[in-house]
Structure 1
Amino acid sequence: MALFMDTHNIDGGVSAADVAAAHEADLATQRSHGVDYLRYWVDEQAGKIFCLVEAPSAEAANAVHREAHGLVADEIYSVSEHS
């Protein structure tokens, strides 16, 4: 599986509680798409959300968002982890 970082831009800001609820919906939906949402980060005031996900493709990762809550990513990047 590949590793992806996606970004969401929410005009007017976003609450951490709303993002947590969306992440829980992702976790409940991901298995049927062969996806594993690992972590997320949020900047509430700027309305920025970043999700780290293992998935067979960027399309599969976005399909989880679409099915779980409808908030698809604005951008998705293929990333690799280095220490």
Structure 2
Amino acid sequence: MFDKVPDAPPTIARQSDCQTCYMCELYCPVDALYVAPESDVTTSVNEAELAEVGLLGSYRENIGWGHKRTSTAKADQTFQILKQMK
């Protein structure tokens, strides 16, 4: 998934193979990743801006993964629609 780069942050290996599954963001223990939903669009990334608006690790946080986190899935609109269908 990632390639080591001497004296630099890791780089994404085979970015063209990304399926936007968010698993890399979920498993990052320090919330250092943000997977943009538009993975098929090349975009510039500003890490400081992502951190400022709270996107780094946001999927992981919303799912409730990580120390002292609680899932927010019940607030998801899809969950509410499915709940009403029962």
Could you state the TM-score of these two structures normalised by the residue count of structure 2? 0.23
Whose relative contact order is higher, 1 or 2, with alpha carbons under 8 Å and at least 6 apart? Answer: 1
Could you state the TM-score of these two structures normalised by the residue count of structure 1? 0.23
Higher gyration radius (CA): 2
